[in-house]
Amino acid sequence: MYFKFIRPQNELLQKYLEGFYIFATDTVEDALEYIVFPSNHVIISIYNHTALQIGKQSIAVKEDPSCGLNSLATFGFLQPITFSYQHPIREIAFCFKSLGLNQFLKNDLIDYFEKELFSFFPFADYEQEMISLLEEKQEDKIQQRIEAYWLSKYEEKDLGLLERAMELLEQPQNTIQQVADELSISRQHMSRLFNTHLCKSPSQFRKIARFRQTLQNRVENVKQQDSLTSLTYESLFYDQSHLIKDFKALTGMNPQKFFSKNQAFENGQINWFFPD
C-alpha cells in the first residue's frame, strides 16, 4: 500500500484546500478494507478504469479496464463508511476544508449534494483533466497540475458570517441560539446557511468538529501516554461518558476499540480504521 499526503504550495489554495493524497495498492496485495468516519471536510476521490459498487454505507472499488473515470464525492455523512479495494487501484483524493469547495463551484454546495456517496462531475472539462492527471506519474507535476486546475475554477464567495458561526460553535460554552444571537440572525437562518454550504446542521457540525479535534488530540495524547480522561477534557467533552456516547454515534464503537486499530495520517487529520 502506498499513501502520500501533499499540501498545496499556493497561498490562496491553502485557505481552502487541506491537501490531496495519492493512494495505491500493489498487485501482490490481498483485498484491502478500511473504514472512514464523519468529517467536516469535503473529499473528492478520482479513479480511472475502475468499477464502483456503492452501498448505503459502503463502497467497493474494483479494477475494470472497460470503465472510464469515476469521481466520487464523500461529505455530509454521519455514520462510518467502509471502503474495500479488490484489485490494484490508484486513487487521487482532494481534501477540501469545511467551506473550501464552495469557492470553486458555480452554485452552492447543496446543489451538488445527492447522498452520502455520489458521482461528482462539476465542470465540462473535469473528466478529461482528471483522466490525464491520473495518468501522470511524477508527483511534482501532479501537484502543479492540481493547483493550476483548481485555481482556474476559483470564484470568491463571501462566507464570512458562516465562518464566524463555525468558530463560535467550536467553543463548547456556546449554544446554537447564543451563536445566532451573537451574529444577529435567527436560528432558522443560521441552519439554512449550514445546510446550503456545509450540507449539515449546526449541531451535526459541532459534534463532528469535537470528534475530529479528539482524533488530533489523541496523537499527542499517545506520545505523552496520557489517559482517556485527559483526552476527554482536552477535547472539550463534559465528561468521559459524553466522549464515549459521541464516539459510538459517529464510529459505531467505543474509543478504546477505535484507537486500538485506527491509523492516523497527517497528525490526526486523516483517520482510517483497519478491521480484522
Q: Where are the domains of the chain?
A: 2-152, 160-199, 203-273
Burial class of residue 125, CB neighbours in 10 A (0-12, 13-18, 19+): exposed
Residue 137 has φ and ψ, to the nearest 5°, of: -105, -25
Other beta carbons less than 10 A from residue 122's beta carbon = 16
Q: Is 107 exposed, middle or buried (0-12, 13-18, 19+ CB in 10 A)?
A: exposed
- The Cβ-side half-sphere exposure at 37, using a 13 Å CA radius, reads 29
Q: Nearest Cα to 95, choosing from 45, 133, 145?
A: 45
Q: Is the predicted pLDDT of residue 2 greater than 80, yes or no? A: yes
* Residue keyed to cell 459541532: 206
Query: How high is the pLDDT of residue 110?
Result: 94
Contact predicate 47/173, CB 8 Å = no
pLDDT, tens only, 58-100: 899 999 999 999 999 988 788 889 999 887 899 999 999 999 9
pLDDT the model gives residue 252: 81
Q: What is the DSSP letter of 32?
A: E
What CATH class does 203-273 carry?
Answer: mainly alpha
pLDDT digits (tens, 9 = 90+) for 9-20: 999 999 999 999
CB 82, CB 33: distance < 8 Å: yes
Distance (Å, whole) CA 207 – CA 25: 33
Q: How far apart are CA 66 and CA 50, in angstroms?
A: 8
pLDDT for the residue 266: 55
